[in-house]
Structure 1
Amino acid sequence: IGEPEGHSEWVSCVRFSPMTANPIIVSGGWDKYVKVWNLTNCKLKNNLIGHMGYVNTVTVSPDGSLCASGGKDGVGMLWDLAEGKRLYSLDAGDIIHALCFSPNRYWLCAATSSSIKIWDLESKSVVDDLRPEWNKEFKKKATVPYCVSLAWSADGSTLYSGYTDGMIRVWNVTSIQ
């Protein structure tokens, strides 16, 4: 997949859509593009253009209708995969390292260099801004660890986050309203 329509720089992330009737993958790259690929014929379906910096991460919603992308520009972009159009943007305020949709709520989670933001996609507002409690030793370091990977539990009650200090931090999100 890719020649001649592929990314011109590193491909940083690839995700499958759960829709079996219309099999696609979505890729994001350092060329600032999000690309949607039709797996039936291995051809490019859409170029999703809008990021001003490299794309670190893409994710596909549980129903396969939406894609979210994020990266250097600190903007989470939501895309309609059927139409190949941008729906709206969410400002994370910092580089986005990872994105994931909640399995059971209309939420998008973004790992940034400063925190983990959870957006309610209906209201387009931040419902939580998760930050670990750093001890004094960490605060003295030149760089504080940050989250680079995210995964929800199957029931959507727990968020797992991988950090640059080698730790996996676990967040109980059942109390967020």
Structure 2
Amino acid sequence: MKLTRAGHSGWVNNVAISPDGKTLVAGNWDGTIKIWNLATGELKFTLTGHSGWVNNVAISPDGKTLVTGSEDRTIKIWNLATGKLKFTLTGHSDWVNDMAISPDGQILVSGSRDHSIKIWNLATGELKSTLTGDSGGVFSLAISPDGKSLFSRGVDDTIKIWHLATGELKSILTGHSYRIDNLVISSDGKTLVSGSGDGDIKIWRLE
């Protein structure tokens, strides 16, 4: 271990590294977000404003924008360089569990315990559409490298594939016998890997 970064007063829920590898962001159960110089371990900012746990953090592909989602049902958009809050997104009626940003940096997708997926314009904060159909809440999201497909998992044992631009449900992948805990897509967009509480890792060919 090279460096240990302390300073959080509770569990660290989620971390993200900027595309240039210079900045580390960590979201905490105490409602704060800490931004560190990854090379030196220097704490640059502590961001406040959420009234609940910060469940997830994401950085835009250009490294300029930080997005945080919280138990307080809101999403906050920050300037990563300055730590300034740009705006707050509201609309979910329960915890924001996961988020994903499209490869072109234009679209933010959020999943909530309110069973919905919301698609936002990241630059303006405009809500573009709301997708429903995941029973028990949406807990994991992933976007394909070409930005065309959105993958989601709820509390059941299926993976849903959506057309990101239209919101059309394209297909449902079945095969796990217990809740799916994580999703990851290969860099070429051809392979999806899912891990589940059933003890299995499944590898799906997307093309």
Q: Do these two structures clear the TM 0.5 threshold for a shared fold by scoring above it?
A: yes
Deviations 1:6-37 (A, max 9, x none): 211111101111024xx111110101011111
Paired with 2:99 and 2:164, the residues of 1 have a C-alpha distance of 16
Paired with 1:92 and 1:58, the residues of 2 have a C-alpha distance of 18
Is the Cα contact below 8 Å between 1:14 and 1:28 reproduced in 2? yes
Paired with 2:71 and 2:62, the residues of 1 have a C-alpha distance of 27
Is the aligned partner of 1:69 residue 2:68?
yes
Offset, 1:155: 0.7
Is the Cα contact below 8 Å between 2:25 and 2:57 reproduced in 1? yes
Gaps of 5+ in 2: 168-207
Q: Which amino acid aligns with 1:10?
A: W
Task: Give percent identity, aligned residues only.
Answer: 36
Is the Cα contact below 8 Å between 1:92 and 1:112 reproduced in 2? no
Could you state the TM-score of these two structures normalised by the residue count of structure 1?
0.86
Offset, 1:157: 0.3
Offset, 1:104: 1.9
Q: Which amino acid aligns with 2:143?
A: W
What is the SS of the residue equivalent to 2:85?
strand
Is the aligned partner of 1:146 residue 2:137?
yes
Alignment partner, residue 50 of structure 2: 51
Structure 1 residue runs of 4 or more that deviate by more than 6 Å after TM superposition: none
Q: Which amino acid aligns with 1:55?
A: V
Is the Cα contact below 8 Å between 2:18 and 2:59 reproduced in 1? yes
Q: Which amino acid aligns with 1:62?
A: P
Deviations 1:139-166 (A, max 9, x none): xxxxx42111111100100011121112
Gaps of 5+ in 1: 135-143
Alignment partner, residue 101 of structure 2: 101
Query: What is the Cα-based RMSD across aligned positions, in Å?
Result: 1.5
Highest relative contact order (Cα 8 Å, sep 6+), 1 or 2? Answer: 1
Could you state the TM-score of these two structures normalised by the residue count of structure 2?
0.74
Alignment partner, residue 127 of structure 1: 128
